[in-house]
A and B are shown apart, each in its own frame.
Chain A
């Protein structure tokens, strides 16, 4: 619905978000008008694999957490803890709805996702310094 998307009612927040990640991350908009970050990858040790990461801003942002999706997708039917952290729609359960507040940004989402990824000994995390842009700069009142 035009006019009431989160980035339309909160353009300052949108502007802040746009500067939070560095290339290879890039901000794209899908056909439904939702914005998402693409371009990052997560490496998997066992078996050797590389997953591209997509961080999608939901309609309820910033009260609702950013969705994380991997390609190739992980299956919710995977054995062990990893499968338990994949939602039925294929998104990653890296943070609970209650563990997210409007103070969290896409850089926090990436850090949380990286922490979740690194928890499993067969996975390796990101070098975050290569991904995160300047930390959020809040203007003085």
Chain B
């Protein structure tokens, strides 16, 4: 069961203290977010559908101030967490969309090790990727990683486990409380630059992988220097969601003749994992893939809109992604990197996460879809 570090931290502390449980709930969903205050939402997952869902949602506003996050959370959450421990139940940390959907869920579900309640239905949890040992293709490789969010942090961990000798970590942001729900780094890293947090996390985990840290946003800042650093890499990975960053990595990879993997999760109109591989020896690149989607009207390029986002967002469009999907995306990206260095691999890997994705009728829910990239004759990246 995916439990993020904030949840574990609270749970461990609760487990050592005795309090009176104010209420008894078999399972809880908790979301941490930050605006001016820390907001904790506790939502019950009961064995039976709730007749009146409103009492099942609790919300607290906690002052941040000088008080540390865990100290603020502790007294407010402890009655409920005590109940969890008495019942030996598990904690799932979810996003606001899950919490919102709890009130309208149509089927009950209990937690277990390999089943998870996820947006109105129970899905089987794919096996969490584990360190399968050193990958011969990645052993000693220098990997450039652009974007160290929920997918990027996992990819960094997998590359370190696979034997990469050096990681070039590029991300301009700092780790925020709102990242904790999905990020591999825990609350002790909040406030740190993500590049520093991920490097420290790898070191704490015992990896001896060297790291070059570049807290820059591409393609906005210092692009020439970033290109020079990426030139030293054997393979480039982009785990950033922004279209410009993805196009930047694709362009750099083509022009510096490096294999590149661009991995992300698209949330519009439905959750869709997307991983694109571009190889220097072959025509057809990430830009070709995007152009082909534009031709098919699956991606709209419009002023003010992210060309990387799929169109037709709706109020029901989910915003949260469970950790196991992120694990899956990172694991496939790592595997594709290995195969790219070995010279054989599929080019595009898509995975619909729950619902049918408009325009991708052949893509079955919870199944992967692999296809080649058709080179576009008008592509200004690999076509020139």
A-side residues, CB < 8 A to B, are: 1, 3-6, 9-10, 12-13, 16, 58-64, 95-103, 105, 112, 136, 138-141
Q: Which residues of A contact B256 (CB under 8 A)?
A: 9
Q: Is B279 an interface residue (CB 8 A)?
A: no
Among A13, A99, A139, max chain B CB count under 10 A is at A99
Q: Which residues of chain A have C-beta atoms less than 8 A from B384's C-beta?
A: 10, 12-13, 16, 138-139
Interface centre among B231, B248, B308 (most CB of A within 10 A): B248
Most buried by A among B218, B224, B306, B375: B224
- In the bound assembly, the distance between CA atoms of A130 and B164 in angstroms comes to 55
Let me know if B243 and A60 touch, CB within 8 A. no
CB of B248 within 8 A of CB of A63, answer: yes
Residue of A with least CB distance to B243:
A98
| Smallest CB separation, B115 vs chain A (Å) | 38
Least Cβ–Cβ distance between A108 and chain B, in angstroms: 11
Q: Cβ of A138: which chain B residues have Cβ within 8 Å of it?
A: 377-380, 383-384
Q: How far is the CB of B233 from chain A (nearest CB, A)?
A: 13
A-B contact count (CB 8 A): 109
Within 8 A of A (CB), among B273-308: 283, 287, 290-291, 301-308
Whole-angstrom CA separation of A136 from B348 in the bound complex: 28
Closest to B219 in A: A60
| Contact in complex: A63, B224 (CB < 8 Å) | no
A95 touching B303 by the CB < 8 A rule? yes
The bracket for how many chain B residues form the interface is 35 or more
Q: A1-B228, A59-B222, A64-B223 are in contact. Are A97 and B244 (CB under 8 A)?
A: yes
Contact of A101 among B243, B252, B383 (CB under 8 A): B243
Chain B residues, Cβ within 8 Å of A101: 243, 247, 287, 290, 301, 307
User: Are A13 and B224 in contact (CB-based, < 8 A)?
Assistant: no
CA gap between A5 and B220 in the complex, in Å:
14
In order of increasing CB-CB distance, the 8 nearest A-B pairs are: A60-B219, A63-B248, A59-B223, A98-B306, A60-B223, A4-B227, A64-B219, A12-B384
Cβ contacts under 8 Å, B190 to chain A: none
CB distance from B100 to the nearest CB of A (A): 26
Given A95-B303, A102-B380, CB of A141 within 8 Å of CB of B227: no
* Chain B residues positioned under 8 Å from A61 (CB to CB): 219
In this complex, what residue of B is CB-closest to A99?
A: B303
Docked complex Cα distance between A6 and B248 (Å)? 11
Apart from A60-B223, A63-B219, A102-B287: 13 A-B pairs, beta carbons within 8 A: A3-B228, A4-B228, A6-B224, A59-B219, A60-B248, A63-B247, A96-B303, A97-B242, A98-B305, A102-B381, A138-B378, A138-B380, A141-B377
Within 8 A of A (CB), among B226-249: 227-228, 231, 242-245, 247-248
Q: For the complex, is B121 an interface residue (Cβ under 8 Å from A)? A: no
* Listed residue (A9, A96, A99, A101) with the most chain B CB atoms within 10 angstroms of its CB: A101
> Of all chain B residues, which has the CB nearest A94?
B303
- Give the residues from 104 to 140 in chain B that come closer than 8 angstroms, CB to CB, to chain A: none
Residues 196-210 of B contacting A (Cβ, < 8 Å): none
Check A9–B380 contact: CB distance below 8 A.
Answer: no
Please state if B243 and A5 are interface contacts (CB–CB under 8 Å).
no
Q: Does B225 touch A at the CB level, under 8 Å?
A: yes
Which chain B positions have C-beta within 8 A of A9? 227, 252, 255-256
Q: Which residues of A contact B251 (CB under 8 A)?
A: 10, 62-63, 102
